[in-house]
Amino acid sequence: MKHGLLHSTLREMQALAFSPRFWGLILIATAVLGVTGPFGTYERLTLLPRLAYWLALALATFTAGYAAIRLVGEALFERRAVPSVVRALITGLAAGVPIALVVTAFDWAALSAPIPDTSSALTLFLNCALIAAALSLASVLIEGETSADTEPQTASMPTAPGNGFDIAMLQPPTRPPLLDRLPPPLRGRLTSLSMQDHYVEVHTDKGSTLVLMRMADAMRETEGEAGLQIHRSHWVALDAVAGIARQDGKLFLKLKNGTQLPVSRSFAGTVRDAGFR
């Protein structure tokens, strides 16, 4: 389980590494800190070494903090329904430990700063923990506001063809809790879930990632997105379905992104009841 959790976290961090928004924020922070030179870096380093110092420190502290937030969050809250705000605060505070260690190591290596005593180390930890908790909380609040602004209203959902099955009946006016498990750049509209060994591959309109959890638990956390289980290993969002296909007597659902997912015989009736024939 620990290996799987670490692997999942590394996959999520890899996805962030290709995010233009992530690099934009890192470079902006580096420029501001490099030019202003806080915490004595202006006096100790010239401009180019100072920029390099803050770029490396920003990347290192983000990596340590993000890994801690994801690992602590999964370890403590994997099986518990905890409000995202509470989760963000607790995991953010926990991230203060590795972030403080990274800052201490950088100051010792780059600035020849002495190893802090107990009082200074505690102050550094509290500062790092409060900053990490504030950023983690802000990320959750901003993501929640963005989702509320961009998600369509339930009343505008169409009625599926066929027997008059109302798709809107499957669309509770809430944000799927599963999205809180994804890296922020991937928190879009859910399109499908697929079981991969001990993981669930979560697909959204912004990308996909692996999450270490059971398929049944993942489907429970899709509340807020109208969808159907079509196979023991697959779930689809109804809004993502483009139509159906048949190959060698087998039924498939075609998604708008070009993916085709198989429909097992035990779920074929559910798919027909939803109006897909």
Residues paired with 203 in a beta bridge: 192, 208
Q: What is the pLDDT of residue 4?
A: 54
Lowest mean pLDDT among 56-60, 154-158, 219-223, 270-274: 154-158
CB contact at 8 A, 200 and 206? no
Each residue of 228-258: pLDDT tens digit?
Answer: 999 999 999 999 999 899 888 889 999 998 8
CB contact at 8 A, 191 and 203? yes
**Distance of alpha carbon 71 from alpha carbon 2, whole angstroms:** 9
Q: What is the pLDDT of residue 142?
A: 58
**Distance of alpha carbon 23 from alpha carbon 5, whole angstroms:** 25
Contacts 24+ apart (CB under 8 A), 241-246: 241/276, 243/276, 244/271, 244/276, 244/277
One-letter amino acid at 77 equals F
The yes-or-no verdict on residue 17 having pLDDT over 90 is no
The yes-or-no verdict on residue 186 having pLDDT over 60 is yes
Q: What is the mean pLDDT of residues 9-22?
A: 72
**Distance of alpha carbon 54 from alpha carbon 257, whole angstroms:** 40
Q: What is the pLDDT of residue 6?
A: 65
Q: What is the pLDDT of residue 140?
A: 64
Sign of CA dihedral 175, 176, 177, 179: negative
Mean pLDDT of the chain: 81
Each residue of 122-142: pLDDT tens digit?
Answer: 999 998 888 888 877 776 665
* Number of helices followed by number of strands (H, E) in the chain: 9, 8
The yes-or-no verdict on residue 83 having pLDDT over 90 is no
Residue 60, CA distances (Å) to 34, 65, 102, 106 in order: 16, 8, 7, 9
The yes-or-no verdict on residue 208 having pLDDT over 80 is yes
